[in-house]
């Protein structure tokens, strides 16, 4: 079986001293593609560097995370927009992400909305998928998205409200789920409801998980086989069939052909 991790922050400082170990763990777990999501200009440049170092294995998603908006200057925003435009011709950039809205940062709410609007219009103009962060804002974002011409949308770590899931599916969007698939009743309910054709797998590393079987472990793509196994159990399918469909979803979403 082959696996993919569509949402990991490989350019995060926490991976700086162990990046090669993380890559080795991924390869030994039959993970064949990683999408390095970015949160600001610095991590975007880092994601590009890693993608260039590991072509056809690490792919870069470039964007401004809601939590980065609070320190975002006009100069950095302009550099970010220009970087994404420039790298569109480079096969290592596969999406605009991680972008979105977060209720935790209400003090910069209007700026969050403004930056998200710019990022979505850029994804629109460059015909790139968008990878969305939506903590506490999923329903609002799902309502917003049809007003943009972004052809492919991934709502990463989709959690609630589950009532928004039908609109996500009807609009042809994807969701990705990670380690909580193994132990969270809420996430498992979502997995039950979402068609497998709209699902992708992620880790969101270096985020740490504090419940078995991930307790005390560094988050790496080596978690993905356990996540796929949990999806198969929930959907009463063979793990191999789940893994194959998720590979197909990955290729469809990002417009890539993975090595067999």
Predicted pLDDT at 57:
95
The answer to whether 9 touches 19, Cβ cutoff 8 Å, is: no
User: What is the DSSP-derived secondary structure letter of residue 29?
Assistant: T
Evaluate whether residue 134 is within a structural domain: yes
Domain housing 199: 3-207+223-232
- Rounded to an integer, what distance in angstroms lies between the CA atom of residue 217 and that of residue 200? 22
- Rounded to an integer, what distance in angstroms lies between the CA atom of residue 70 and that of residue 195? 36
Evaluate whether residue 252 is within a structural domain: no
Evaluate whether residue 24 is within a structural domain: yes
Distances (CA, A) of 16 to 10, 43, 47, 215: 8, 11, 12, 22
At residue 92 the predicted structure's pLDDT band, cuts being 50, 70 and 90, is confident
User: How much is the average pLDDT of 136-141?
Assistant: 95
Evaluate whether residue 217 is within a structural domain: no
Evaluate whether residue 109 is within a structural domain: yes
The number of distinct structural domains making up the chain is 1
Evaluate whether residue 88 is within a structural domain: yes
Neighbours of 35 (CB within 10 A): 31
pLDDT at 89 over 80: no
Distances (CA, A) of 105 to 7, 76, 100, 111: 22, 19, 12, 10
User: How much is the average pLDDT of 176-189?
Assistant: 97
Average pLDDT, the chain: 95
Evaluate whether residue 48 is within a structural domain: yes
- Host H or E run for residue 76: helix 74-87
Q: Specify the CATH number for the domain of residue 105.
A: 3.20.20.140
What pTM does this model have?
0.96
CA-closest candidate to residue 184, choices 163, 156, 164, 214: 214
Residues 6+ apart with CB under 8 A from 185: none
- Rounded to an integer, what distance in angstroms lies between the CA atom of residue 92 and that of residue 254? 11
User: How much is the average pLDDT of 64-79?
Assistant: 93
Evaluate whether residue 218 is within a structural domain: no
Neighbours of 181 (CB within 10 A): 23
- Rounded to 10 deg, the angle between the 109-126 and 74-87 helix axes is 20
Q: Is 178 exposed, middle or buried (0-12, 13-18, 19+ CB in 10 A)?
A: buried
pLDDT at 260 over 70: no
6-23 tens-digit pLDDT: 999 999 999 999 999 999
Predicted pLDDT at 105:
86
Could you tell me what percent of the chain has a pLDDT over 70? 99
Predicted pLDDT at 184:
96
């Amino acid at each position: 079986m082959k696996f993919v991790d569509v949402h990991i922050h490989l350019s995060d400082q926490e991976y700086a001293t162990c990046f090669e170990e993380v890559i080795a763990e991924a390869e030994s777990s039959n993970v064949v593609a990683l999408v390095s999501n970015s949160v600001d200009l610095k991590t975007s440049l880092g994601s590009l560097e890693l993608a260039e170092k590991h072509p056809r294995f690490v792919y870069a998603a470039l964007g401004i995370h809601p939590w980065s908006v609070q320190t975002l200057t006009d100069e950095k925003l302009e550099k970010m927009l220009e970087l994404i435009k420039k790298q569109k011709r480079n096969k290592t950039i596969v999406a605009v992400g991680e972008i979105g809205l977060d209720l935790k940062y209400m003090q910069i709410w209007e700026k969050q909305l403004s930056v998200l609007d710019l990022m979505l219009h850029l994804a629109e103009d460059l015909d790139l998928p968008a990878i969305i962060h939506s903590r506490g804002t999923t329903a609002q974002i799902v309502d917003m998205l049809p007003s943009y011409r972004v052809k492919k949308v991934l709502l990463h770590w989709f959690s609630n409200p589950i009532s928004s899931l039908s609109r996500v599916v009807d609009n042809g969007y994807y969701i990705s789920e990670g380690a909580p698939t193994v132990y969270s009743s809420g996430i498992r309910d979502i997995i039950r409801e979402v068609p497998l054709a709209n699902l992708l797998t992620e880790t969101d590393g270096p985020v740490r998980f504090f419940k078995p079987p991930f307790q005390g472990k560094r988050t790496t793509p080596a978690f993905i086989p356990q996540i796929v196994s949990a999806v198969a159990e929930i959907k009463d399918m063979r793990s191999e069939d789940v893994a194959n469909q998720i590979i197909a979803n990955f290729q469809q979403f990002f417009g890539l052909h993975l090595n067999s």
